[in-house]
Structures are given as C-alpha cells and as structure tokens.
Amino acid sequence: MFSQRLQELYQQRLNRVIKDRASGQNAKIWVDGRELINFASNDYLGLANHPEIVKAAAESMKEFGFGSGASRLLGGGSVPHRDLEQKISQFKGTEAALIFNTGYAANTGIIPAVSGEGDVIFSDELNHASIIDGCRLSRAKTVVYRHRDVAHLAALMKKKEGKRTMVVTDTVFSMDGDTAPLRDIYDLCFSLNSELSTPNSLLLYLDDAHGTGVIGNGRGALAHFALKPQPWIIQIGTCSKALGSFGAFVAGNRDVIQWIINTARSFIFSTAIPACAVAASLKALDLIEQGPELIPRLWRNRNMLVDALKGMGFDTGESETPIIPLKTGSVDEALNLSQYLYERGIYVPAIRPPTVKEPRVRLTVTAAHTEEDISSLIRALSDYE
C-alpha cells in the first residue's frame, strides 16, 4: 500500500530525504564524508556549539542527570526550569512564562487550550504548520486571511463580530523571512478590544520562533516594533533556533500561563524537557544579553549576502531577516540548484510542496559564517547556469 504511494512521491520528486551530520551544528558541517558550508541552519547566532553553552549543559547534567523522568506536573521539572521561566518573562517583559518541549508542542497545546468550539481564529495564510495543526486541534472555526494583509483581516473580523476571537501570526515567517505587520495588527486588536464588553478577551497569539534572538535586539518582534506586551497577547518562542538549544516557551500574563498549565495537553501529558537543555537555553539568554557583538555580526552577514544576491539579480522576495528564499519556479529547479550547490560544497536543501506552495531553496545565514563562507556561496550562485 505504501510502496505505491511512495512511488507517486518519487515520481513527483516530492520525497524527503534525511541527511545526518557527522559533526556538530555549525557554519561548516560534515555530511556524507564531506565538509559543507551550511546555509540551512536556524542556529542564527552560532550558539549551538558555543563552549559556554556546552559547558552549562554538561554541568547541569552532572547535577541533574539526563532524563527528567516525568511530566513537569509529576515532578519532572527542576530548579533550572523555574529559573529559565523567570529569565524568559524578564527578557520578554511579561508577568510569567512556561517552558514547552518544542515549538510544535507549544502551538499544538496552547492554541486548543485558549480557543475552542464556537470561537473563531484568524490565521495568516503562511503561518507555520504547527499553528495550522494547533488551530485544527482547537475545533475553533479557523478563518485564513491573506498573507500580511491587515485590511483583509479587519474585513473578515467584522463579519464574525460577537464571537470569541483570536488572531494568530508568525512574527517572522519561517519560509519567506518577511515579518508580520505587527504594529497594524496590534492597533487593530487594541481598538477592537477596547470596544468589547469583556475587556481584553480578543487575543493576539504571536509565534516568535524566528524573531527571538534575531530582531528587537534579540528580544523579538514586540521589541522590534516598539510595542508593549499586553494581557491579551500570548507570545511563544523557541529555544531551538537563535538560542542554539532545544525547547520552547510561552510568555504572557499570570492568568493565561496558569490556564495553560492547567489545560494544555502537550504540557500536561508529556515528559519534561531535560534540565541540561534548559540550562543551555539559560546560558544562551545570558550570552545574548552580555555579548552585544553576536546580533550585529548576524545582521552584517545577512546584509552582505542579500546585497550580493540582489546585485546579481536574484529575487529575494520580501525577506527582511536572515531567512532568504530563492524561489525557483519549479520543484525540479529547486532540486537542481540544491544539488548543484551541494556539489560545490554548500548545503542548502530544496523546500517543496506541501511545505510551501512555491518551490525554493531557503538560505539561512548566521553569525557563525565567515566572509569567505558567504563569498563561496555568492561565487557558486554566480556560476550557476
């Protein structure tokens, strides 16, 4: 049964292939016995291999061991879990925070915890798959608005007046690298909230997975747009990208966090993330706060690459961040470009449907890349025919 279905995937060139590294996650990686320059990682600040993070994780492992043994509510948590939550709420300027095992678990657990049958969720059409799955699990009616189109969002919201409502958006879109028009979305939610009989009952849910550590001086999208956290804003973020660690978090007001602790199934019914991963995330936040050179280096590299690509006539779409899509027009062309780069010693996987509608290679540039790494990519792309 599956062999026939797999054949169809192979014929359409839509089958996925796992390529495992024989090295740590870094600007250079070893794959299939070769060293490749890596433009595929979300380790934006190059922290995944940072000696202080490795040390923090190792020291925590000596104290707490590796496995956490139970869900957080059954004693699987540790003092570092609590410390990280305090640190995140301070970092994000919220009353409270809660750690999740992954961003996927956060979105699929929290969205159904805060929205349910009879409610309406307004979701950007390019939101991450984990948001889409969270919306499905919630059983709320999900209304999809055109990508970054606040006028469309407002018009759709008008039609559903009277329902309990939540607006959901990625802050930095993971496959296009553009940002949500957060100031306009915030203003819309703010004004609609002030008209409601139950104040603050319209929620704004932000997935800051690719904003945390990258924009707003590392503090993420709200800081980037000079917006203040509000009781009606729920922010999630991941520790697995710019923090170079693993895990995720939600930050918001005390009541919403308590509600999530009591109702989010992916939190309640899943073993707690190990303390060593939590200790690594804590150290990453320290490094971001104390190491002011990391974020500017990331942006220097990003601007260098984007300027060169534009100079060569490449269309980098609406990218405003270290995520840079090169849309190829077809699946074959995305695979050909990826394979060509691979042969030139550069790792950039093709991204195809159903992950995205428009096939592309997705470049991610990090603070760990050297000028020479970026020049090698530019040279390879300029030789591509």
Ligand X SMILES: Cc1ncc(COP(=O)(O)O)c(C=O)c1O
- Cα 333 to chain centroid, rounded: 26
Active site annotation includes 210: yes
- Check 130, 174, 338, 376 and give the catalytic one: 174
Cβ distance to ligand X smaller for residue 245 or 376: 245
- State the nearest-atom distance from the C-beta of 81 to ligand X, in Å: 16
Binding mask 146-175 for ligand X (x = CB under 6 A): ------------------------x---x-
Q: Reduced to 3 states, what is the DSSP secondary structure of residue 166?
A: strand
Cβ distance to ligand X smaller for residue 115 or 376: 115
Asked whether 145 and 306 are in contact (CB, 8 A), the reply is: no
Burial of 344 (0-12, 13-18, 19+ CB in 10 A): middle
Active site annotation includes 241: yes
Asked whether 320 and 299 are in contact (CB, 8 A), the reply is: no
Q: With contacts defined by CB under 6 A, how many residues of the chain interact with ligand X?
A: 14
| Candidate list 45, 157, 203, 209; residue touching ligand X; CB under 6 A | 209
Beta strand ranges found along 146-277 (DSSP E): 165-170, 203-207, 233-238, 248-252
| Candidate list 142, 179, 238, 328; residue touching ligand X; CB under 6 A | 238
Active site annotation includes 283: no
- State the nearest-atom distance from the C-beta of 55 to ligand X, in Å: 23
Q: How far apart are CA 41 and CA 30, in angstroms?
A: 13
Interface segment toward ligand X; rule CB under 6 A; list 31-39, 46-54, 205-213, 315-323: 205-213
CB-nearest residue to ligand X: 103
Asked whether 39 and 364 are in contact (CB, 8 A), the reply is: yes
- State the nearest-atom distance from the C-beta of 201 to ligand X, in Å: 25
240 binds ligand X (CB under 6 A): yes
Question: Which of the residues 97 through 126 are near ligand X (CB under 6 A)?
Answer: 102-104, 107
Q: Reduced to 3 states, what is the DSSP secondary structure of residue 265?
A: helix
Torsion angle in degrees (nearest 10) through CA of 97, 104, 227, 306: 140
- Check 210, 224, 283, 369 and give the catalytic one: 210
| Candidate list 50, 128, 164, 219; residue touching ligand X; CB under 6 A | 128
Q: How far apart are CA 108 and CA 260, in angstroms?
A: 12
Q: How far apart are CA 301 and CA 83, in angstroms?
A: 33
**Which residues are part of the catalytic machinery?**
174, 210, 241
> By the criterion CB under 6 A, which residues form the site for ligand X?
102-104, 107, 128, 130, 170, 174, 207, 209-210, 238, 240, 248
